[in-house]
Amino acid sequence: MDPQLLISGVIFGLSMASVYFLMSIGLSLCFGLMRIISLDQLLYYSVGAYLAYTVSVVSGNVWLGVLAGVVVSGMTALVVERFIFRRIYERELTFSMITSFGILIGGVGVIKAIWGVVPRPVRMPTPDLVTIFGTEVPVYRLMVVGIAALVYIGIWLFLNKTIIGKAIRAGIEDVEHVEGLGINVSRLFTITFVIAGALSGLAGGLHAPLIMVDPQMGLEVLAFVFMVVIIGGLGSIKGTLVSSLIVGQVVSIGSLIYAPLALMAPFAIMLLILLVKPTGLYGSTMVKK
């Protein structure tokens, strides 16, 4: 394989892994603390992308659009958590999955009503290229990787160095114990859900310049997001990062070797990992909430 093509593929894989990580981290956080499968995170991903498109068209500033997408996605997640998920936390896991999928499908309909069904392009914030080992690489893809790395560091610091973060981390281990300490678990649920929604919106806003923004974009990445959280282990932040890197590189390098591998190989890797470790790379046995 041509070394320049390989370098380009690795950078592409890292940028895709970054987007997968930002999309999947919300699912992992929500499952880890609340024991729900929040497929509506993919709706916030779409909202973030469309806000990036709209604001960038109006203002000419893509970064302002990304910021708007993060804020609106977080606010949408707050409304959904307050009026829908608070009523179903005690229900079975499958109930939350079906409910969140219904929210996703309904949200797609709202997006179609507002923006239509025609895919929309979002201009690249910077057209600059940088040379890495003799290969020209888009600067924006490197920026996406850098932002995702900063988000991971920020989440780690938040969960390990702040009082709220430590409470959330303790709640992931044992919700009943946290309740027994007098901590308002309901507020923790809301904070976690809003953070997850905002990060999903960030994923959409960053991904928008790399693709065509489309109403079905959340549904199109559903399988890959599931693969990431299953391979890494539901509820594991570290596992989400590692599995995102694996899936991103497998999709990118696989497409260079043989195009159908881009879709087949991640599923094969997921099956192999689950055969060896049914809970995923860093997942733990699910305990009842």
Over residues 245-281, the pLDDT tens digits come to 998 888 888 887 877 777 788 888 888 888 888 888 8
DSSP 180-226: HTT--HHHHHHHHHHHHHHHHHHHHHHHGGGSEE-TTHHHHTHHHHH
Both tokens assigned to 153: 């560091």
The per-residue pLDDT for 1 is: 59
Taking each helix axis from N to C terminus, what angle separates 3-34 and 185-207, rounded to the nearest 10 degrees?
Answer: 160
What's the chain's length in residues? 289
Prediction pTM value: 0.89
- What's the rounded Cα separation, in Å, for the pair 139 and 62? 15
Amino acid symbol at 199: L
Backbone angles phi, psi at 258, to 5 degrees: -160, 115
Over residues 212-251, the pLDDT tens digits come to 999 999 998 888 888 888 888 877 788 889 999 998 888 8
The per-residue pLDDT for 184 is: 72
Over residues 139-195, the pLDDT tens digits come to 999 999 999 999 999 988 888 888 877 777 676 666 666 666 667 777 888 888 999
- What's the rounded Cα separation, in Å, for the pair 289 and 162? 24
Burial (CB count within 10 angstroms: exposed 0-12, middle 13-18, buried 19+), residue 64: middle
